[in-house]
Amino acid sequence: MGSGECSYGLAYLLLNNRLDYFWVLLIFATLSELCVALSATRTIHTKYGDISGVIVTPDNRHLDAVEVFKGIPYASPPVGSLRFMPPVTGALWSGVKVADRFSPVCPQRLPDISNETLALKKMPRGRLEYLKRLLPYLKNQSEDCLYLNIYAPAQEEEEENKRKEEEEEEEKEEEGKEEEEEEVEEMKEKEEEEEDEEEGEKEKEKEREEK
Ligand SMILES: *[C@@H]1O[C@H](CO)[C@@H](O)[C@H](O)[C@H]1NC(C)=O
Ligand SMILES: *[C@@H]1O[C@H](CO)[C@@H](O)[C@H](O)[C@H]1NC(C)=O
């Protein structure tokens, strides 16, 4: 549910409700909290620190939403005394890093495709079209370029949480039932014992009477 839908829900409540002001405020607070929670992605714990990504829904109904983490540092920036040295473990960070933007790419010379006629003499059209899409992302170059971009299928966190809760509830219910059943059995056993005792006493009485 996006924030747009949340606003619609609230508008609907305001138009149709005859609740008093207090309840409207309470509902608003609850709804806005819900909306924030739903639009944020999960937090991933890494050994360097926590990160959260962004959910991207492709403009194509055949493609599912993906959770994108852009620009995750995986080593210290190879600059200064670290230039041309093997990668060094990155610094830890505190708090949640929001991985929502690309970092610079490593320095490289990009093919010149400004003159398409000229470019097509050197490469097939497929490659030209691919480069047209790719090059804008390679403009921001820097030696400080040791970053990862990770794309993962978006997880329906909401649904997963719901399913977990339901499973837990079912388990609890089953445990409850088992306990109830045990109690019923115990009670039955007690009753039977009592009955046995009673019958025993009755028999003893009879014996006494007979004597
Ligand atoms: C290039 O990368 C730097 C460092 O991450 C960033 O501050 C800057 O905004 C980027 N520039 C562009 C045009 O994306
Ligand atoms: C592109 O390159 C072709 C072939 O070299 C040349 O004839 C043409 O004038 C160039 N176009 C532009 C806009 O520079």
Contact 115 CB / ligand 2 (< 6 Å): yes
Higher pLDDT, 67 or 192: 67
* Ligand number, closest to the Cα atom of 114: 2
Measure 164 CA to ligand 1 centroid, in angstroms. Answer: 41
Nearest CA owner, ligand 2 atom 13: 115
- How many CB atoms are closer than 10 A to CB 132? 12
Residue whose CA is at the smallest distance from ligand 2 atom 4: 118
Q: pLDDT at position 200, please?
A: 67
| Cα–Cα distance measured from residue 30 to residue 103, given in angstroms and rounded to the nearest whole number | 36
**Mutation choice for ligand 2 from 112, 115, 116, 121, CB with most ligand atoms inside 8 A:** 115
Which ligand minimizes its atom distance to the CA of 100?
1
pTM above 0.95, yes or no: no
Tens of pLDDT, residues 38-81: 345 789 999 899 999 999 998 888 999 999 999 999 999 999 99
Residue 16 Cα to ligand 2 middle (Å): 66
pLDDT tens per residue, range 129-155: 999 999 999 999 999 999 999 999 987
Distance CA 162, CA 168 (A): 10
Shortest-distance Cα residue to atom 12 of ligand 2? 115
Which of 1, 83, 73 is CA-nearest to residue 35?
1
Q: What does the alpha-carbon distance between residue 114 and residue 120 come to, in Å, rounded to a whole number? A: 11
Q: Ligand 2 pocket, 114 CB below 6 A?
A: no
Distance from the alpha carbon of residue 142 to the mean position of ligand 1, in angstroms: 9
User: Among all chains, which residue has been given the structure tokens 């170059």?
Assistant: 141
| Integer Cα distance of 196 and 204 in angstroms | 12
By CB atoms closer than 10 A (0-12, 13-18, 19+), residue 71 is middle
Do 75 and 103 touch, CB atoms closer than 8 A? no
**pLDDT band, very low/low/confident/very high, at 2 (cuts 50, 70, 90):** very low
CA dihedral 198, 199, 200, 204 (to 10 degrees): 100
| Residues 164, 38: Cα–Cα separation, whole Å | 17
Strands 96-98 and 66-73: unpaired
Q: Write out the two tokens for 95.
A: 């708090």
The CA-to-CA distance between both ends of the chain, in Å, stands at 87
Segment 16-33 shows an average pLDDT of 39
pLDDT mean across residues, the chain: 76
* Share in percent of the chain as helix, strand, coil (round to 5): 55, 15, 35
